[in-house]
Structure 1
Amino acid sequence: MVTVYSNQQEARQDAARRGLREKVLCLVLRGKELLVCGHAGLPQAGTQLPAGGVEAGEQPVQAAVRELYEESGLQLPAPRFLVSYRWEARLPGRLTCQVCHAYAFTAPPGLPAAWSHPADGHTFVYRWASLDAPGLDWEMDAALPYLNSVPAPLQETAHD
């Protein structure tokens, strides 16, 4: 189940009040394509986006830039905030609930069609997928409808 917040401040306050993990999702766009990844040797992990947790004292926008770099090797400036939402799901053996902040990045010219990048003991395998049907697993497609609703480029302030 996905619950969309009216703004990022509300999402962060709700995460703090409930003691929930905050996560960032990085949507890297190249025209009508979206950068997606999987884990080499772990097909059960599914098709995902570069993503990860917001560390203590870190703003979500900083976490998005950091996670994108750590997981893909891409160092891209000026992420555009899209939406914050709470994701709740019953997974095998557990219930998960976390607050997600989605950011859009623009891919620079010249990126390859596919590549792999080692991070956190995994090898992430990247490719471009159609933005119309990227085949994302988990809740990662929840931000897609917001890609065209925010004017670009939106510069986020440190308090958002």
Structure 2
Amino acid sequence: MIRRFGEPRKQDIRYRHRPGAYVILPSGGDLLLTRQEGEESELQLPGGGIDPGESPVQALHREVLEETGWRISRPRHLVAYRRFAWLPDYKFWAEKLCHIYVASPVRPHGPPSEPGHEALWMNTSEATRTLTNEGDAFAVTQWVQAGAHPPR
């Protein structure tokens, strides 16, 4: 069974299945994160929805570049979780299946191209306490407890 974070499923709402790929990007003791401005400011692991015809790894590369301006290498799957959420950008309720990877940040190629996103580096322990989504914080904690090894 895949662990759930956040609100439980509401019986009176119709949810769309929305798989996504997200990534832990370590460098030294810091993580590369994205701050997304919207209805509320959110600190997140970079990543997002997997588009039709796209593999999770292809989506991961695309989303990280859009949200942070960085290229990544050697992604490896770490954990998955699900959550039920309103997606204001798309105006629908989703059952999100979040695949979390760990990868190496290679180099920046410019600022984020996704409107409302800001790339920032944060100490791993502070990030774990500050991430908006408790599923993201859980994934980072799992990675740290497993030895916080960067991809090889």
- TM-score scaled to structure 2, two decimals? 0.69
Q: CA separation in 2, counterparts of 1:106 and 1:99?
A: 23
**Alignment pair present for 1:39 and 2:32:** no
Aligned-pair identity in percent equals 27
Residues 28, 34 of structure 1: 8 Å contact kept? yes
Which sections of structure 1, spanning at least 5 residues, go unmatched?
Answer: 5-17, 155-160
**Residue aligning to 1:117:** 112
Contact 2:23 2:60 in 1 (8 A): yes
Counterparts of 1:4-153 in structure 2, within 5 Å, are 20-39=17-36, 42=38, 44-88=40-84, 96-108=94-106, 116-119=111-114, 122-134=115-127, 135-138=130-133, 139-148=135-144, 149=146, 153=151
Structure number with higher strand proportion: 2
User: Shift in Å at residue 3 of structure 1?
Assistant: 1.0
The residue that corresponds to 2:11 in the other structure is none
Unaligned runs of 5+ residues in structure 2 are 5-14
Secondary structure of 1:61's counterpart equals helix
SS at match of 1:141: helix
Q: Which AA in structure 1 matches 2:54?
A: E
How far off its partner does 1:84 sit? 1.2
SS of residue matched to 1:133: helix
- Name the amino acid aligned to 2:58: Q
Cα RMSD (Å) of the superposition?
3.2
One-letter identity of the residue aligned with 2:53: G
User: How far apart, CA to CA, are the structure 2 residues paired with 1:30 and 1:101?
Assistant: 21
Equivalent AA in structure 1 for residue 119 of structure 2: Y
Contact 2:18/2:94 (8 A) holds in 1: no
What letter corresponds to residue 141 of structure 1 in structure 2? A
Deviation >6 Å, runs of 4+? none
